[in-house]
A and B are shown apart, each in its own frame.
Chain A
Amino acid sequence: MSHESPEEAEAIVRDAARRALGSRSRWRMLAAVLWAGFLGAPPILLLWIGGHSLAQDTSLGQVSAMFFLAWGCATVPALIAAVIVDADLVPSRRHSRDEP
């Protein structure tokens, strides 16, 4: 077992924190919103399946389209949450910040 210098731990942690989304706040927010929507879409789809829209014959294509619609719907609350959390996404606040 090789033991290495303590600086290695700090370097790993520092680089891990900076890697990919770690240093890109906009992309991080977008990825989080899309992923939260993706996880939220199946329950929405399940509820729709119980509804009238699937009471008739349905093709895999229609179900797929419904999934993407559900994904889109599910991103809305995630997007609202993201905007509330990240003040930088609100244009008026960003503008006021830019002012001296």
Chain B
Amino acid sequence: MYSAAPRIQVRAAHGRHARLRLLAMVVLLALFYGLPWIQVGGRPLVWFDLPGRQFHLFGLLLVPQDLIYLTWLLVIAALTLFFFTTLAGRLWCGYACPQTVWTEAFMWIEQAFEGDRHQRLALDRAPWTPAKLLRRGGKHLAWLALGLYTGLSFVAYFVPARELFPALIAGTLGGWALFWVLFYGFATWGNAGFMREQVCKYMCPYARFQSAMFDRDTLIVAYDAQRGEPRKSEARRLGSPRGACVDCSLCVQVCPVGIDIRKGLQYECIACAACVDACDAVMDSVQQARGLIRYGSLAQQTGQGLRLLRPRSVGYGLLWLLLCAGFVVALAQRTPLQLEVMRDRHALYRQLGDGRIENLYSLHLGSQDRRPLRLRLQVTAADGRALEVDPAVIELAPGDSRSLAVSVRSRDLPPGLQSARFQLVAEDDPRLHIERQASYHAGAPRPVGDPAP
């Protein structure tokens, strides 16, 4: 029998939604733990090199100047969340949120050490014995190990895993890296082991603003009160024919946030559908139709049909498609080269001993190409004449970004200020080029009668 426990002792649910949740957990955890180990071309597939100011994302090299792409990705991610929430409620919360995924993993460990719900409730009530100490201690050790490995994997997104793990074993891990391993590890332990549904119910802001995305056609986990009421016990008391609900309380026992879905839609519900699985199993056992608790919309409950295509979902969907298409086009047209040209502010120009005119520039160069580049710098005057450039060849490492002083010289150009075209071309790949316009001062007009130098 139930008695107050320090945490909700959730009964394991079995069914198609539980299998789906397990699949989501396995895939997402495998991605999280596995991605830092995958290397392409000698570099991690995903690596946020903050000190180096480079972000390696699935073969794409982004630098701080590419922040627009990262921001774009964040906006797409947010819109994806809005779109799916409008369509099918809190899918993210129930299946993909890290809090849910790690809580599932921690509950699986808990069950392995302490048994099913009844055994855990009994263990909660039992006095401290060596057996209880062993079970509890083993569980916490396993939780801590998983938490710390999670912390290590998290840090491996910022420090390559193939450097991080050997450094940890050798005891040469940097102070800050160690701090983040412990911080993230203990946060995982605390959130998934102890806080659990508290994070979803009281701390997560998403649970608060999701209601703004719901409408009458959003799919939610709902109890069919018309079919289920009056419940077995109530019907017995009233002496009336009973509804389909046998009042077994299994839907509440399997709920990870400890709510009774039969009381209607509640903000705590994370739409994991564990209650759907539990209820379907009971309906099977009493030979009634499944679906007393099911995914359905409020509109469906009032006899209307399911409307997936509606202004809100279409609007989110179109915006999402536009942003995704824009992102792909922008990435395809992106030149992995950066060039900024600034004139030397100290002198407009300088006349050399041999009569040539020299202008000085400061070039800021950057490469987001994954290869080392050998670039040729060409400068042409407004009339198409090539000007002398020093240095004419520049080498850039992948992700390199630096400033460079460049001298541009001309002879016999019409005096005065004119435009010049700076072009940077990769020697082994002419398609890789970038150009900028800047001004070039070809000297002051010579006084009348002054012989040419």
- Measured CB to CB, the residues of A under 8 A from B are 1-6, 8-13, 15-17, 19-22, 28, 31-32, 34-36, 39, 43, 46-47, 49-51, 54-55, 57-61, 63-64, 78
Contacts and interface: CB of A to CB of B under 8 A. Distances in A.
A46 B70 contact: yes
Given A4-B2, A34-B203, A47-B71, 8 more contacts: A1-B285, A6-B247, A16-B259, A19-B7, A22-B201, A46-B70, A59-B176, A60-B51
Nearest to A13: B260
Given A8-B252, A35-B199, A60-B51, A15 B258 contact: yes
Contacts of A21: 198, 201-203
Contacts of A58: 50-51, 53
Interface string B255-283: 10111100000000000000000000110
B179 interface: yes
Contacts of A9: 247, 249, 251-253, 260
Contact of B252 (A12, A22, A49): A12
B8 interface: yes
Contacts of B3: 11
B204 A35 contact: yes
B38 interface: no
Contacts of A3: 246, 248-250, 282
9 contacts: A3-B248, A8-B253, A9-B249, A11-B4, A15-B4, A20-B195, A46-B71, A55-B64, A57-B51
A59 B249 CA distance: 55
Nearest to B118: A2
Contact of A28 (B180, B202, B231): B202
A31 B202 contact: yes
Contacts of A51: 64
Contacts of B281: 1
A16 B50 contact: no
Contacts of A12: 2, 8, 249, 252-253, 255, 258, 260
A55 B275 CA distance: 52
Contacts of B2: 4, 8, 11-12
Contacts of B203: 21, 31-32, 34-36
B205 interface: yes
A59 to B, nearest CB: 6
Contacts of B282: 1, 3
B182 to A, nearest CB: 13
A42 to B, nearest CB: 9
A13 B50 contact: no
Contacts of B53: 49, 54-55, 58
Nearest to B259: A13
B248 to A, nearest CB: 4
A50 B158 contact: no
Interface in B382-427: none
B79 to A, nearest CB: 15
B179 A64 contact: yes
Contact of B258 (A16, A36, A60): A16
A49 B50 contact: yes
A39 B4 CA distance: 32
Interface in B1-34: 1-8
A39 B159 CA distance: 21
B234 to A, nearest CB: 9
B3 to A, nearest CB: 8
Interface in B277-306: 281-282, 285
Nearest to A11: B2
Output the residue of A3, A31, A54, A55 with the most chain B CB within 10 A: A3
A31 B204 CA distance: 9
B250 A32 contact: no
Interface in B188-228: 195, 197-199, 201-205
Nearest to A1: B285
Nearest to A6: B247
A10 B260 CA distance: 8
B258 A13 contact: yes
A46 B72 CA distance: 12
A23 B2 CA distance: 20
Given A6-B249, A9-B252, A20 B198 contact: yes
